[in-house]
Amino acid sequence: MSFETLELIKSNNIATIKLNRPNVLNAFNEQLMWDLQKATSEVGADKEIRVLIITGNGKGFSAGADLGERSASWSSSKDALERGYKPIFQNIINMDKPVIASINGPAAGIGAALALACDLRVMSQNAYIMSVFSNIALVPDGGLSWTLPKFMGYGKAYEYAIEAKKIFSDECLQFGIANKVVLEDELEECAENWAINLSKRSPQSLIHTKKLMRKSQSNGYWDIYEFEGDIQTTLTGSSENREAVKAFFEKREPNFD
């Protein structure tokens, strides 16, 4: 499938989605929303793909909503959030594979929300996250009012949001927003190598660990404890479990192909 506003590349069990509106720092217009819905849905359904990377072409990850768009089908901001953005975030959060945001510059507004909806983040040193909404007298959306406090705590998240302050890569690393920070010319290779390493690990372990840790955001300790037991019971003795144990005793890498 070809797309107007992004590139979808599949290779060696890894998919890469590159937002491709570099002349506007990959700002979201309506077409990008539809394309990203379809691309994330396709990747989520592809059993051959084990890891997804999302990044931007050009000098930025995404500058947020395209304020220059003059015509769109939305009846309101909430309509755009519900019909446009929400299915994208649902696809990312619910797909049974890790999603890495490779942040190559500004990730602002809804672009920041997209980056924080991913499971993992690697940033170039010049990259930053920014809740830009207060600059145009609006509030954070796309779930950013939930994700930022989770990482930064209420006080800092509120400060950075109402002042529209950039959260630079070193601060993102400190707050746990970024998993890794690398030089700009090393970003693509770092994201790809990370994805390759993850693709070699047990698919069932990646899938169910993501499910459990996503559930932990809205469930209590003992609920998760019970979920862990249920899942562990189904995985113990499985073919992947047996292969991993055998590889451990044979002092080799397991093969999950």
Share of the chain above pLDDT 90, in %: 96
* 3.90.1150.10, 3.90.226.10, 1.10.10.10, 1.20.1250.20: CATH of 6-199: 3.90.226.10
Question: Residues 169, 205, 53, 157: what is their CA dihedral angle, to the nearest 10 degrees?
Answer: -30
Beta bridge partners of 99: 52
pLDDT at 2: 86
Q: Looking at the predicted structure, is the pLDDT value of residue 70 above 90?
A: no
d(CA 144, CA 246): 43
- Tens of pLDDT, residue by residue over 228-256, are 999 999 999 999 999 999 999 999 999 99
Closest CA to 103 of 34, 160, 19: 19
Q: What is the mean pLDDT of residues 12-29?
A: 97
Handedness of CA 50, 56, 60, 63 (dihedral sign): negative
Vertex 20 angle, CA 116 and 140, to 5° = 30
pLDDT of residue 225: 97
Distances (CA, A) of 6 to 57, 112, 139, 222: 9, 18, 27, 42
Beta bridge partners of 120: 100
E runs forming strands in 57-158: 99-103, 106-108, 120-124, 128-130
Q: Where are the domains of the chain?
A: 6-199, 203-250
Instruction: Report the SS3 class of residue 120.
Output: strand
Model confidence pLDDT, tens digit, residues 76-130? 999 999 999 999 999 999 999 999 999 999 999 999 999 999 999 999 999 999 9
Intra-chain end-to-end CA distance of the chain, in Å: 26
Can you tell me whether residue 219 is helix, strand or coil?
coil
* Rounded (5°) CA angle 46-147-197: 40
